[in-house]
Amino acid sequence: MRSETLVWAAVAAIMAFLFLPIVIIIVYAFSAAPIPSWPIAGFALHWFADTWNDEAVRQALTLSLQVAALATVMAILFGTLAAMAVARMKSAAKEVVSFIAVLPIALPGILTGMALASYFAFWGINLSFWTIVAGHATFCVVIVYNNVVARLRRMPRSLTEASADLGADAFRTFRLVQLPMMASAIGAGALLAFALSFDEVIVTTFTAGAQNTLPLWIFGAIRLGQQLPEVNVVVFAIILFTAVPVLLAQKLIGESGRVAR
């Protein structure tokens, strides 16, 4: 009994350590004071309206959503195709290619960012919306790839063979067997990729030109110590935005895990 109490106390302490700052930011979003201070003197909701009407925040939000959406689309396409290709490979080539495929997410973001920045500079490509999308796609592709590869590993080869045996050509097999069986893995990967792109800072710093994504806007505001109440509101919104896809993705992965057995 006593040891159990201790374990629970430890769990509570760790959870508090992890989540208390987040809770404080959320509480600050409702603080009336223009500069965050403790204890909170009074509560107000007007920061939400102010933030919503702030043109810079709106532009950053739009950009972040556009980048995340495009990077996710690229991730779905390339991640799924790469996973299907790797699943068909023989052992030796498979090891090498799957290692290369997951490398972008194993590398520190600062390396990816610097490499991309110097690559763009070398070819004289101006930093723009598209360079941000390319930067985000590097790690988003891996997320979808990983999910789909795991699904394909559990999918017996006999299923595609059975489809061919019953007279379906490769395209029909893809449409009627492989795609439906990969769908929830692709969906989960896409949601995670979207969330990851939406709050990415490091790679974005190196690949963005004059544009500000939402995380970059926050970063800038905090460094300059300006618009802190708005930052709190934006962070609150980001928590909502990223938590939802992550939770959905986990539910998708859990469900399909049961189906595949």
Partner 1 sequence: MQTAKQPIVQLEAVAKSYGAAVALAQLDLTVYAGEFFTLLGPSGSGKTTTLRLIAGFERPDKGRIMLDGQDVAALPPFARAVNTVFQDYALFPHLTLVENVAYGLRAKNMPKAEAHAEAEKALAAVQLADFAGRKPAQLSGGQRQRVALARAMVNKPRVLLLDEPLGALDLKLRHQMQTELKRLQHETGITFIYVTHDQDEALSMSDRIAVFSQGRIEQIGTAFDLYERPASVFVADFVGSSNLLGGSTLLRPEKVRLLAAGAEAPENHAAQPGVVREATYLGAVTRYQVALADGTSLNVMESNALPVGERLRLAAGDAVLAVWPRDAARKIGN
Q: Which residues bind partner 1 (CB under 8 A)?
A: 156, 158-159, 161-169, 172, 176-177, 180-181, 259-261
Provide the phi-psi class of 167: left if phi over 0, else alpha when psi is between -120 and 50, else beta.
left
Rank residues 55 and 165 by Cβ distance to partner 1 and give the closer one.
Answer: 165
Smallest gap from Cβ 156 to partner 1, in A, equals 6
Cβ nearer to partner 1, comparing 137 with 177: 177
Burial 67-98 (b: 16+ CB within 10 A, else e): bbebbbbbbbebbbebbbebbeeeeeeeeeeb
CB 133 → partner 1: shortest distance, Å?
33
At its nearest, how many Å lie between partner 1 and the CB of residue 157? 9
Beta strands in 75-165 (DSSP E): none
- Closest distance of CB 193 from partner 1, Å: 24
Q: What is the b/e burial string over 220-252, where b = at least 16 CB atoms within 10 angstroms of the residue's CB?
A: ebeeeeebbbbbbbbbbbbeebbeebeeebeeb
Residues 29, 233 contacting (CB under 8 angstroms): yes
Written as one letter, the residue type at 66 is Q
Q: Which is nearer to partner 1, 213 or 256 (CB)?
A: 256
The least CB distance from residue 87 to partner 1, in Å, is: 16
If the CB atoms of residues 53 and 91 are measured against partner 1, the closer one turns out to be 91
**Which residues contact residue 248 at a Cβ distance below 8 angstroms, ignoring those fewer than 6 apart?**
188, 191
Comparing CA positions, the residue from 250, 228, 255 lying closest to residue 47 is 228
